[in-house]
Amino acid sequence: VVGSPIGIPPVVMGLTILAAGTSVPDLLSSVIVARQGEGDMAVSSSIGSNIFDVLVGLPLPWLAFNLIKGRVVKVGADNLFLSVIILLGMLVAVICTIIVNKWRMTQSLGYAMFCLYAVFVAQDLLRVTDWGC
């Protein structure tokens, strides 16, 4: 709805704006516990919330829709597969970087991860919109 007037497909809106908006509470709680010296809890919370979203947050609405309407939910995500592959590649890169950094979360690692997110969003926008020509 928001991205339609400027030509941003719903899948891109979901991967960017909606994802960022729903992750703000996780971000705030992770910052709070990290500042208290609980780095393990901050990382675990981030991973756990994403697992919960994928394994509970997605299936419950689909199940409810199926039970109420009696039909399956169709997901029009032609470009989603490549986005997931790119994201998995970035995840491997981040894990390797964290291992090389001896499991210390430094400011430079934070900047690097933020830059990776910006690259992911940029490539996704260029790949699935007319902006990429």
What was the pLDDT predicted at 131? 60
Q: How far apart are CA 96 and CA 102, in angstroms?
A: 10
Q: How far apart are CA 121 and CA 83, in angstroms?
A: 10
Residue numbers in the chain where pLDDT is lower than 70:
1-3, 76-79, 129-133
What was the pLDDT predicted at 133? 56
Radius of gyration of the chain (CA): 17
What was the pLDDT predicted at 67? 94
What was the pLDDT predicted at 65? 92
- The CB density around residue 13, as the number of other CB atoms within 10 Å, is 15
